Amino acid sequence: MKKLLLTLLFLLGIIACSKKQEPVVENKAEIQKLKVISTIFSTYDFTKEIGKEKTDVKLLLPPGVEAHSYEPTPRDIADINNADVFIYTSKEMEPWVEKLLSSISNKNLIIVDASKGIEMKEFDFEEHDDHENKEETHDEHTRGVDPHIWTDPLMAITIVENIYEGLISANVENKDYFEKNKVAYIEKLKELDGKFTDLISKSKKREIISGGHFVFGYLINRLELTYHSAYESFSPNAEPTPKQMQKLKEAIKEVGSKYVYFEELIDPKLAKLLSQELGMEMLLLHGAHNLSKEELEKGISYYDIMNQNIENLKLGLEYNENNNGN
Ligand SMILES: [Zn+2]
């Protein structure tokens, strides 16, 4: 009996000790960190670049999940309700956001629309075509607004500014810290943009053959490149028609391209088909919507992704660093 009592006292001692230990320094530091939730990978990565150790940033998309068809789970909604800052890309990218925000009870939640101040556009693939085969009507082009604003480094700068505003609204004490990080990161985005300009000025070709959906519209439009795809939509779930496939194959022949680009996290069946049928080499053009589990574990950033995209585009566009404009 005495032994049992001693054991019991000992156990109670452990519980008491562990209880006492709970709210020590480590936890206080955790509490002070700004809790931020970001819907897609790019805005998540931008937020980490600005907030660094003063923020605890969570990516809403689970690893490897395709971004366009994602809908938040009840757990996600509870997490957003408990956060300090919630960042979404736009109503076009996350159509579920309006309904979600009306159900949020956390009155202190700072909500950031990353697309604020960005003029979103509707792109028409035909615009850059040679207009020879004009029998198609515009009714076939029901695409809507292009949500992929983050793939253009200059638009990414506006997104970064919007995120920064959100962070200081929630935590003005760290304004100087956030600002310093923001300014440094914007320099990196400008550097990326400079690399794209260099890529275009020293490349022989102007055409991109894609087996994926239309992700780089803003950048391609700004750099005056032509984009050929069988997908006449921004949605990665669309299926190309035989007529669209035929058109794409004709474009490939005309352009004389040896490379076909595919996108991340989506089965590249069209690119594979073209690779098998026409012997084209497949190259990744990463849209930075989300990362695979392996990529997340490696700690790959938006900056890494865009640098790799530039390297892959150098092949397809026949870049020559000794070219001085043509
Ligand atoms: Zn997309």
Domain assignments of the chain as residue spans, ordered by start? 201-316
- Among the listed residues 77, 95, 119, 148, the one whose alpha carbon sits nearest the alpha carbon of residue 290: 148
- Measured in Å, residue 105 CA sits from the centre of ligand 1 at 30
- Measured in Å, residue 23 CA sits from the centre of ligand 1 at 43
Consecutive H or E run containing 210: strand 207-210
- Measured in Å, residue 121 CA sits from the centre of ligand 1 at 14
- Measured in Å, residue 212 CA sits from the centre of ligand 1 at 9
- Measured in Å, residue 88 CA sits from the centre of ligand 1 at 14
- Among the listed residues 225, 282, 208, 278, the one whose alpha carbon sits nearest the alpha carbon of residue 249: 278
pTM: 0.84
Give the residues across from 203 on adjacent strands: 319
Give the residues across from 35 on adjacent strands: 56
236 alpha-carbon distance from chain centroid: 14
CA–CA distance, 98 with 291 (Å, rounded to integer) = 25
Q: At what angle do helices 175-201 and 302-316 cross, to 10 degrees?
A: 0
Instruction: Work out whether strand 110-113 and strand 85-88 pair parallel, antiparallel, or are unpaired.
Output: parallel
- Measured in Å, residue 259 CA sits from the centre of ligand 1 at 21
Q: Which fold would CATH assign to domain 201-316?
A: Rossmann fold (3.40.50)
- Measured in Å, residue 225 CA sits from the centre of ligand 1 at 19
Per-residue pLDDT of the chain (326 residues; tens, 9 = 90+): 455 554 544 544 444 444 444 444 455 545 589 999 999 999 999 999 999 999 999 999 999 999 998 999 999 999 999 999 999 999 999 999 999 999 999 999 999 999 999 999 987 654 333 334 444 433 344 467 899 999 999 999 999 999 999 999 999 999 999 999 999 999 999 999 999 999 999 999 999 999 888 789 999 999 999 989 887 666 666 678 888 889 999 999 999 999 999 999 988 988 999 999 999 999 999 999 999 999 999 999 999 999 999 999 999 999 999 987 54
Residue 317 token pair: 């566009």
- Measured in Å, residue 185 CA sits from the centre of ligand 1 at 24
Give the amino acid at 166: G
- Measured in Å, residue 69 CA sits from the centre of ligand 1 at 10
- Measured in Å, residue 38 CA sits from the centre of ligand 1 at 16
Give the amino acid at 123: F
C-alpha distances in Å from residue 306, one per residue of 57, 96, 102, 156, 302 = 21, 28, 35, 12, 6
SS3 56: strand
- Measured in Å, residue 148 CA sits from the centre of ligand 1 at 6
**Residue 194 CB coordination number (10 Å):** 11
- Measured in Å, residue 143 CA sits from the centre of ligand 1 at 12
- Measured in Å, residue 30 CA sits from the centre of ligand 1 at 34
**pLDDT (tens digit, 9 = 90+) per residue, 229-254?**
887 666 666 678 888 889 999 999 99
- Measured in Å, residue 155 CA sits from the centre of ligand 1 at 16
- Measured in Å, residue 235 CA sits from the centre of ligand 1 at 7
